Structure 1
């Protein structure tokens, strides 16, 4: 049983006339879905948790974890002695609700708890959400513990599944090293990164709204420019062509196309911005909002999901198709002194947040260990 793994027998040491009882508690062995993900690395206390490596899917290239093999009943049964619990984060779109129901039933049969972090009430990789919501319902009903990232997401999940969750904040994904603080520009620089134009990115609508908002502000004398970045390889070539056309003759707006930025290059790109526009048409939370917070880059975003609840003081809302709302949000976002890249206030704010976030990360890791221990205790009691 999983409880045996976290409650090893005590051993007694003799010291004179007294006995000292030393209790050894081995790390919890977690089969995370996925394991090789920056978020999972950030929440994991390596002193108290051992992460299993992602089982390689048959025929997949090296480093690919999807479709996640951990969710297959055959894998769970074959490796039941190798892990204490399963923690699901991402990748459930690889399987149908019925297949996930079989996953839950297998975990119950072999006596291993399921922890589910509800990152995505809406899946950013999908346009249609019905199957995702059905899969979410299966996992939420079958999980021994549910985790959410914000109080507002917690309230929504409770309303759907009528079960309590544990709210644990999204930790920093940056390491312990100093963060970039950007370079001084003579204009306010606004950026929007459309990445590969995945389904939840409204690249055309956001760009059209941005072009009109920047033009209006520049007409009033504002010193502002915007850059729209896309990956070289995108999922929607027609949308990319429309974006190029929208920006071609735009005043103060340019398009960048390039290879996918690695983590360090992305941080450097964001740090050079006075504000970052998030172009989402649907979603729940945003790792980009967390990275922007780490770098003291204010966020301008659409009113979707629970992104505004992640760091409310840094979030400025706009509506796609309403350039006035975007212009107003950009003015508000660039008002604080610390919004200016390369400035002394920006550097001081980044340093302050770095210390705050590293302390928070320790709390987040401890909170996950506590969730795991409770889930194991519940399974043993059952």
Structure 2
């Protein structure tokens, strides 16, 4: 921090540290806002004002013209918002949602934080942004944010290594907190198939830019054989020719696969949380179809539900124990990975779920505590 006297003049040192997350209304961020001793009322991901001394968590500001609950584009990224609310904020923690801002605009935002002695924390979730096709622009934005931040966090050691190599700063590494609610963490897994078959599953959703749908589908379809079944889940809109990311090759593969023995194509609208958790929990192996990416909430959700994961050779594979396939060797690497998993008797975690839930909740509590300690340190520095 550049001027501790400025901070002291606008904040009573005995008052809670006021933290503005960008965004606050996100499942990952919500887990950081529930500390030990608090009711787990925020397990729905919607309690945007959960507080605990000495930290006060601020809600997302309303977005002009947007429906209630929409946090994007986030007003707190605007220098004008920072200037206007500087007396009410001690720390801004930037997570996601800045891809609409140019590097020059982000430089104005970080300068406004420094002008008002507001500590800036950034969690490097993404070295490669899964929502945009141009990683060069994303890295250009990080070239502004990472050097300007007063503290950096990331979720895995490989990403910390890259940040240190590129920007000369090493982030603290804190694990991804649990995704699914506590009561679901402790729930028994569904019974396995009576016939002993192994059920693979891949969720293509709406074909985000980082999804390598065609080569992954080819590999998985080639892996189907007696004893190995495959479910392919895809959003209905992704198969409409007027959809922005419509892929005729994906549609052709799915139409050809629909009548194959051992393959089920499930076309659906976006799933509510419980239905989504069910779709993952009954699988023996969940396949992540990503061509690029850094960390994965989906992988974390599978871990929460006790479903083994087959992930691409990206940093996300170090988040939790999982099997790995090589993107440069698709589709063959997927076939080999599935064969190795089934030959080794790969099966969902069978340990006591209440014990697992307690471990996950303890980890989440420690991650939240460490964030709170960081905010307090920065505000008092």
Q: TM (normalized to structure 2)? A: 0.86
**Conserved 8 A contact 2:313-2:324:** no
**Does the alignment pair 1:189 with 2:199?**
yes
Aligned match of 1:29: 18
Deviation at residue 326 of structure 1 after TM alignment: 1.6
**Conserved 8 A contact 2:130-2:210:** yes
Q: CA RMSD in A?
A: 2.1
Aligned match of 1:67: 73
Structure 1 gap ranges (5+): 9-24, 341-345
Q: How does 1:19-98 map to 2 (within 5 A)?
A: 25-44=14-33, 45=35, 46-48=51-53, 49-98=55-104
Deviation at residue 4 of structure 1 after TM alignment: 6.3
Deviation at residue 202 of structure 1 after TM alignment: 1.3
Aligned match of 1:328: 336
Deviation at residue 347 of structure 1 after TM alignment: 4.6
Aligned match of 2:284: 274
C-alpha distance after superposition, 1:136-193 (max 9, x if no partner):
1100010000001111111111111101211111111222213351232121110000
* Equivalent in 111, 119, 138 of residue 105 of structure 1: 111
Structure 2 gap ranges (5+): 1-5, 36-50, 239-243
Aligned match of 2:213: 203
Aligned match of 1:16: none
Aligned match of 1:295: 305
**Does the alignment pair 1:283 with 2:288?**
no
Q: How many residues align?
A: 349
* Equivalent in 173, 178, 181 of residue 172 of structure 1: 178
Q: TM (normalized to structure 1)? A: 0.85
**Does the alignment pair 1:310 with 2:299?**
no
**Does the alignment pair 1:127 with 2:130?**
no
* Equivalent in 348, 371, 380 of residue 374 of structure 2: 371
Q: SS of 1:257's equivalent? A: strand
**Does the alignment pair 1:319 with 2:327?**
yes
Aligned match of 2:232: 228
Deviation at residue 349 of structure 1 after TM alignment: 4.8
Structure label with greater radius of gyration: 1
Q: Following the alignment from structure 2 to structure 1, what is the Cα–Cα distance between the partners of residues 378 and 325?
A: 38
Deviation at residue 260 of structure 1 after TM alignment: 0.7
Q: SS of 2:286's equivalent? A: strand
